Amino acid sequence: MTIVRTHALSPLTSALLKASALLLLSAPAGAATIVDDQLSIDGDTAPDSYFVAPDAQLDANGASTQDISIGENGRLNLQRSSVTATSDGIGVERGGHAIISDNSKVVSERIGLRLLRTASGGSSAVVSDSHIEGARGGASVSAGSALRLERSTVVGTGASSAVRMFGNSTLVAEQSTLIGARAGLQVNGDSAFPGATQITLAGTRVQGLDGSAIVVGGDGYEAVDADIVVGPGSSLQGSNGAILEVQGGSHVDMQVDGSALQGDVRVEEGSSANLRLDNQASLTGRLENVDGLTLNNQASWTMVEDSSVGAMAMNGGAVHFGQANDYQRLTLGTLSGQGTFVMDADFSTGETDFLDVTGTATGSHTLLVGSSGAEPAAENQLHLVHAGAGDATFSLLNGSVDVGAFSYELVQRGNDWYLDGSRQIISPGTASVLALFNTAPTVWYGELTTLRGRMGELRRDEGNTGAWVRAYGNKFNVSASAGSAYQQVQQGFSVGADAPLPWGDGQWKVGVLAGHSNSDLNLARGASAQVKSYYLGLYTTWLDAQTGYYFDGVLKANRFDNSSEVTLSDGQRTKGDYDNFGVGASAEFGRHFEIADGYFIEPYTQWSLASIEGKDYHLDNGLQARGDDTRSLVGKAGATLGKTIDLNDGRFIQPYLRLAYAHEFISNNDVKVNDHRFDNDLSGSRGELGAGLAVSLNDRLQLHADFDYANGDRIEQPWGANVGVRYTW
């Protein structure tokens, strides 16, 4: 045995040092270098075992050593070094402190790092960027001792855990990995130090290769209290599916902060555990015999089977009742706070997830129940919640649950809450279907508005051939009395060309047109739809210059591409699409009267007829729809008042104002959603107001702008506008 010292020792002190070294190193006949003051070793130092005497210090930089024992208040600074030991790799006595860093590696046939105690206190170590491994345990932390891991790995091989802790010891692990051949982390009691064990994990993985991730109690040791914090980026993995196991009368308070965990929490009879999930933390797994669960700040627990919890407190958290078709029951002793329960129900079979509070329920809670496009077999009600006592309130998160063609409400009867389908409320899916089938007429007439202004232009062209283009936009507000309330915003363009007929009295013109419009529909409760329209048409106009009588006619065919996207009551999205065709015609007859000073008036009547093909249609959540052919017949009577201001050389300005009364005669456009029949009805009267301006820059080029407003029984047009240009030759 070698003693390294810088001053003389008494024979008694020397003997005590030798005895301590032999005891701590547990070497039957091994030689150890005793460091009684301070020693530095490096790569040029031959491998040896070391005993660091009380208050002494060993510095190893790039060295290779065998066992190292640190006496009371001794110090070890291990950098870029390796320890290969047949006994404990590094043992630290009370008050001693070890720093293991910079890619150091400790491998032992027993325990890699052991932090020891006496009755008066424990020891400590900081391990950073290093590896600790032991066949009987990676690290052992006695009561009163503290271990800090930073970006390091601790492995327990054989039949051991990565880290075993006792009594009120402390472990802080950051960006580290703990892997045990049995449990990842084992905690046991020590009656001499009865305080709680403190464990903090941040960005750390704890894995039990043949057991739970963390085991508190058991193995014949005394019961222990443990406070565990699982911080952001951490994970717990147990080969038996358990992330935490509490045994032997022990108690655990575990907080999960910002981490997503999967696995069970198992609490043995006679033991206890409280869990708190915070800051969007999540847990998926079983809770067996857990006393309390707290869910804060968007934290969530996902059940995997029927479960029971003593007390649940919620502050913005959520409980998910497993898979959609795997109905589960949650039994709580008490419930408090504010939270959300995500549940499912099958209206065709009556199966539901169920929340049963056997004691007192307080607070304000919401239910998010899964939606479906399939129709229930019968109008019924489903029992979702029961409370033994208390003043708790429950409501549906989005106001209702979408089931088939209708939405269901939550009703309270005493201390029980039911989904009730007796009051039929149209679901967003149904609303989108009705709106799409109802939109084609407004699309068709919105496109026709530009042509109405076009005819007046042609009658002033005195037989010239020309081409034109117009851009337009319209907004329609359709009331619920029409079948489904929605807002429609239409944008589009039309192009065309026309010429006088070479026969007859020379007062006839014919033309062709083409165009495209896009209509966006906004519906209540997060539903939207879109109609893309493509059209071709023919038009004609006739004017008797002597009498002022005129006739305008339009024949137009459309292809409609329809699609919808619906946000359902449970937050899921569903969509569908279909295409169909339509055809329509418009005929207007009127008379042009010149008054005086360029003023004129044109009384007229217009009749328009449109027919749009019916179609089968479905959303991808199972909602089925069938629309009959949609028909529209609109009669209109009105007058245009304007003035032509002649600027000479073929130039003029013509402002005008138009008033009309219109009536839709068709009132029975039926739509079938699942097995329910609905009536789309745009019938009724409305008043129309329009204003416009035509400007001729020369005898070939004209500019036009029109603005419209309409309001009636079921439909309002807050605004309509179109602008265009025409060139003749």
Given a cut of 50, whether residue 13 has pLDDT beyond it is no
How far is it, in rounded angstroms, from Cα 482 to Cα 577?
A: 22
More confident residue, 441 or 211: 211
**How confident is the model at residue 97, as a pLDDT?**
98
Long-range (24+ apart) CB contacts under 8 A made by 648-655 are: 649/698, 649/699, 650/696, 650/698, 650/699, 650/700, 651/696, 651/697, 651/698, 652/694, 652/695, 652/696, 653/693, 653/694, 653/695, 653/696, 654/693, 654/694, 654/695, 655/691, 655/692, 655/693
Query: Under 8 Å CB-to-CB from 504, ≥6 apart: which residues?
Result: none
Q: Which of 129, 180, 177, 123 is nearest to 153 (CA)?
A: 177
**How confident is the model at residue 374, as a pLDDT?**
65
How far is it, in rounded angstroms, from Cα 721 to Cα 725?
A: 14
Average pLDDT of span 653-664: 93
Q: Report angle CA 587, 590, 593 to the nearest 5 degrees.
A: 160
Residue with tokens 């079938």: 672
Tokens of 303: 């059940």
Run of H or E residues at 578: strand 573-591
- The β-bridge partners of 528 are 522, 565
**How confident is the model at residue 666, as a pLDDT?**
86
Q: Other C-beta atoms within 10 Å of 335: how many? A: 26
Average pLDDT of span 254-274: 97
pLDDT digits (tens, 9 = 90+) for 171-200: 999 999 999 999 999 999 999 998 999 999
Single-letter amino acid, residue 346: D
* Alpha carbon distance, N-terminus to C-terminus of the chain: 118
Residue with tokens 């603005």: 707
**How confident is the model at residue 301, as a pLDDT?**
98
**How confident is the model at residue 19, as a pLDDT?**
45
What is the pLDDT confidence band of residue 18, given thresholds at 50, 70 and 90?
very low
Helix, strand, or coil (residue 693): strand
What is the pLDDT confidence band of residue 506, given thresholds at 50, 70 and 90?
low
Q: What are phi and psi of 160, to 5 degrees?
A: -130, 170
Residue pair 366/340 in contact by the 8 Å Cβ criterion: yes
Which stretch of 239-248, 266-275, 544-553, 580-589 has the lowest confidence by average pLDDT?
A: 544-553
Which stretch of 529-533, 602-606, 646-650 has the lowest confidence by average pLDDT?
A: 646-650
More confident residue, 450 or 262: 262
Which stretch of 80-84, 188-192, 563-567 has the lowest confidence by average pLDDT?
A: 563-567
Helix, strand, or coil (residue 651): strand
Quote the distance between the C-alpha of residue 369 and its chain's center: 16
**How confident is the model at residue 9, as a pLDDT?**
41
pLDDT digits (tens, 9 = 90+) for 410-443: 999 999 999 887 777 777 778 788 888 878 888 9
How far is it, in rounded angstroms, from Cα 232 to Cα 240?
A: 23
pLDDT digits (tens, 9 = 90+) for 311-363: 999 999 999 998 877 899 999 999 999 999 999 887 777 788 999 999 999 99
pLDDT digits (tens, 9 = 90+) for 151-175: 999 999 988 999 999 999 999 999 9
Percent of the chain with pLDDT over 90: 62
* Residue 422 falls in which region: left (phi positive, over 0), alpha (psi -120 to 50) or beta: alpha
Given a cut of 80, whether residue 450 has pLDDT beyond it is no
Single-letter amino acid, residue 290: V
Run of H or E residues at 458: helix 428-459
Given a cut of 90, whether residue 126 has pLDDT beyond it is yes
Given a cut of 90, whether residue 257 has pLDDT beyond it is yes
Q: Which of 274-283, 317-326, 497-506, 685-694 reaches the highest mean pLDDT?
A: 274-283
Q: Which of 199, 266, 261 is nearest to 234 (CA)?
A: 261
Q: What is the pTM of this model?
A: 0.73
Q: Which of 98-102, 365-369, 568-572 reaches the highest mean pLDDT?
A: 98-102
How far is it, in rounded angstroms, from Cα 579 to Cα 562?
A: 6
Average pLDDT of span 607-628: 85
What is the pLDDT confidence band of residue 543, given thresholds at 50, 70 and 90?
confident
Query: Under 8 Å CB-to-CB from 634, ≥6 apart: which residues?
Result: 445, 606, 607, 608, 662, 663, 664, 665
Percent of the chain with pLDDT over 70: 91
For 173-212, where are the alpha helices, taking DSSP H only? none
For every residue of 20-72, DSSP letters joined together read HHHHHHT-SS--EEEESSEEEEETTSPP-EEEE-TT-EEEEES-EES-EEE-T
Residue pair 138/108 in contact by the 8 Å Cβ criterion: no
**How confident is the model at residue 461, as a pLDDT?**
57
More confident residue, 220 or 450: 220
More confident residue, 396 or 246: 246
**How confident is the model at residue 201, as a pLDDT?**
98
Tokens of 310: 């003593």
Given a cut of 70, whether residue 546 has pLDDT beyond it is yes
How far is it, in rounded angstroms, from Cα 287 to Cα 309?
A: 7
Helix, strand, or coil (residue 270): coil
Tokens of 60: 């190893």
**How confident is the model at residue 314, as a pLDDT?**
97
**How confident is the model at residue 458, as a pLDDT?**
53
Average pLDDT over the chain reads 88
Given a cut of 60, whether residue 685 has pLDDT beyond it is yes
How far is it, in rounded angstroms, from Cα 676 to Cα 596?
A: 60
**How confident is the model at residue 156, as a pLDDT?**
98
- List Cα–Cα distances, 598 to 28, 590, 594, in angstroms: 126, 19, 7
**How confident is the model at residue 533, as a pLDDT?**
95
